[in-house]
Homo-oligomer: A and B are copies of this chain.
């Protein structure tokens, strides 16, 4: 596949340790954590999506990468293509501004370009954070470590499903799809203790498998333990099928952390009200093992999505 070859070519160039083999959520350069996401109209968002929510989401997904490394956001650069009469862009920038203000992320530069008539908009954001301590990778976990899910999964995929059924759909699930919330404070509290951590952008199962592979371990996950929101349960229920949907839907921006066995996260400095649950563990071996109500569950054919409506995962996630 051509994209696989292109990424292999990039990996051969990106040999600096800061690149982390393009396998992490972000580059880590001393105490700096740097990430970039690009989104395209018709690929990562719908032309009918409110432009302010597209702007908010572009900031939020970048901040989620910083959260997974425990970094404080310090600066952002925006790449903005301008098309049409500028009204879309005004709304988009409003969403960028709201998210930057909410999370204390100063917009310090970037570039604006015009595009040929009719070309889909392409928008990018570089976010820079500063870590206060060691930055967890994806690869430090060991057999016996406990996998903790911070936040919940499924809302965003359920919201997208509602939107694909009707572009006028609205409600709390659509809101989460459009305006995900990065777990910055929880990421900072966990980073000094996490042996490995990442954010769930493509689906809990596929991202858990990536973490396990980076750790040269297997991951065992109890589907019954994963957190679902009341809004999700109201629409989808909480039986096995719904749990598999939630665990593979992606676009969640929850965090997954491998903590040493015996470490009680309630002793850490997590924000009050943080949803955090032990959902499994790392084990010797390889691959992913699922259980539900104490019984083994066969792996679904698709562990995560890169489908329409999803933001592109970082470069390293694509093979």
CB distance from A98 to the nearest CB of B (A): 10
Interface size on A, residues (CB 8 A): 66
Does the CB pair B34–A77 fall under 8 Å?
yes
Where chain A touches its partner, the secondary structure class is mixed
Does the CB pair B113–A16 fall under 8 Å?
no
Does the CB pair B112–A3 fall under 8 Å?
yes
Does the CB pair A79–B112 fall under 8 Å?
no
A128 part of interface (Cβ distance < 8 Å): yes
Annotate A2-23 by CB proximity to B: 1 below 8 A, 0 otherwise: 1101110110011110110010
Does the CB pair B40–A81 fall under 8 Å?
yes
A234 part of interface (Cβ distance < 8 Å): no
Does the CB pair A124–B34 fall under 8 Å?
no
Does the CB pair A75–B34 fall under 8 Å?
yes
Does the CB pair A315–B112 fall under 8 Å?
yes
Which of A100-108, A185-193, A203-211 forms part of the interface with chain B? A100-108
A213 part of interface (Cβ distance < 8 Å): no
A163 part of interface (Cβ distance < 8 Å): no
Which of A82-90, A142-150, A286-294 forms part of the interface with chain B? A82-90
Does the CB pair A36–B106 fall under 8 Å?
no
Does the CB pair A10–B116 fall under 8 Å?
no
Does the CB pair A93–B124 fall under 8 Å?
no
CA distance A81 to B318 in the complex (A): 13
A271 part of interface (Cβ distance < 8 Å): no
Q: Which residues of B contact A79 (CB under 8 A)?
A: 36, 38, 79, 124
A314 part of interface (Cβ distance < 8 Å): yes
Known: A75-B18, A82-B3, A122-B81. A34 touches B89 (CB 8 A): no
Does the CB pair B38–A113 fall under 8 Å?
yes
A interface residues, Cβ below 8 angstroms from B: 2-3, 5-7, 9-10, 13-16, 18-19, 22, 26-27, 29, 32, 34-40, 42-44, 74-75, 77-82, 85-86, 89-90, 93, 96-97, 100, 106-116, 119-120, 122, 124, 126, 128, 312, 314-316, 318
